[in-house]
Amino acid sequence: MFAYIARRILLMIPTIFGILAISFVIVQFAPGGPVERILAQLQGLDSGATAHFGGGGGEIGAGNAGDFSSKYRGAQGLDPKFIAELEKQFGFDKPAYERFFMMLKNYALFDFGRSYFRDEPVLQLIKEKLPVSISLGLWMTLLSYAISIPLGVRKAVCDGSRFDVWTSAVVIVGYAIPSFLFAILLIVLFCGGSFWQLFPLRGLTSENFDQLSLFGKVKDYLWHIALPVTSLTLGAFATSTFLTKNSFLDEIRKQYVLTARMKGLSERRVLYGHVFRNAMMIVVAGFPGAFLAAFLGGSLLIETIFSLDGLGLLSFESIVNRDYPVVFANLYIMSLLGLVVNLLSDLTYTWIDPRIDFSTREV
């Protein structure tokens, strides 16, 4: 097992390298950049979604290489020395390969530099936004499992019945509806659009949150998070529901279940005393991956729609502003989290069922 874990950890290094290298190369060919954006702001030509500018020159970053001053359409009439100083401030006076390897060196030490447009350490920004995204991902994962496991068990027991058919239809329809469209529908219905004003439109807490009692803070938090979590959960439990159902059906058909029934055990004892533990192995082992998928995949649009100040909204604003230190730091951290969670998922299998041995498995 130790050898398997060591191999998986060592394989994370080339994987992370490949992700960052491909992303860095793509950025070289992307139009625009932080320098060009600032020049556009200085001449009043910028129409981006966000407009903060702090002039914080990051130590690392990615952008267009070469003679920048000749590529900026907004550079006419500006002193070339000013443009050169701006490029030096952002680190774009160095060749692309040098900036890339400097980025790798700093990232290995978890040094992500400073945000170009917020003039704050990138790691501090991520720490500030992380609790919001974790909160959304954790609530969505817990709710989806709380719905999918009982529903999947019931569907397996009633396989082929009318209940199984209509619940499958409902789950599939819910899965087919994009979460952001459902979020917009909830806003129109319950946030004072054209119908009712029952929930707040933005934020995770009210302005007077610090003045509330403990019960009032919990109530206010749940009041704000209800619609975002509902939007994320709508299609999240479909996969785990069918996974639970199919896993139960596979176990129910095995010989040990028939033997337990022949011994006179009740159906409830057979299902929850024998089948449940074996059937839940694959579902429970997938919990880390399900949380990470919710944390990474669902937060961007939902946080933007509900104006929740989390990593999703931070990533969106950073991409719009060409804030490359924040963009690459998010990419690095999320990729690293994904690889670690995949390893944890494998280890969870062995914790649930010690018979599984990954030491003989080829990575």
Q: What is the pLDDT along the chain (363 residues), one digit of tens a residue?
A: 677 788 888 888 899 999 989 988 888 777 777 777 777 766 665 544 444 433 333 333 333 333 333 454 445 556 677 777 777 777 777 888 888 898 899 888 888 888 887 878 998 988 888 888 888 888 888 888 888 888 988 898 888 889 989 999 988 888 888 888 888 888 888 887 677 888 887 778 888 888 888 888 888 888 888 888 888 887 777 878 888 888 888 888 888 888 888 888 887 888 877 788 777 777 777 777 677 766 666 567 788 888 888 888 888 888 888 888 888 998 898 888 888 887 887 777 677 666 666 655 554
pLDDT computed for residue 55 by the predictor = 38
Helices of type H across the chain: 2-29, 34-42, 80-90, 96-108, 122-157, 162-176, 179-190, 214-233, 237-252, 255-262, 267-270, 276-285, 287-297, 299-305, 311-320, 324-352
Q: Tokens 């952001």 map to which residue?
A: 180
pLDDT computed for residue 356 by the predictor = 64
DSSP bridge partners of 121: 114
| Residue 52: HSE in the Cβ half-sphere, 13 Å Cα cutoff | 13
Parse the chain into domains and list their residue ranges.
2-117, 125-320
Identify the CATH assignment for 125-320 out of 1.10.3720.10, 3.40.980.10, 1.10.600.10, 1.10.357.10. 1.10.3720.10
CB 89 within 8 Å of CB 325? no
pLDDT computed for residue 58 by the predictor = 37
Please return the burial class of 112, using the count of CB atoms within 10 Å of its CB with bins 0-12, 13-18 and 19+: buried
DSSP bridge partners of 191: 197
pLDDT computed for residue 166 by the predictor = 92
The pTM score is 0.71
User: What does the alpha-carbon distance between residue 222 and residue 204 come to, in Å, rounded to a whole number?
Assistant: 9
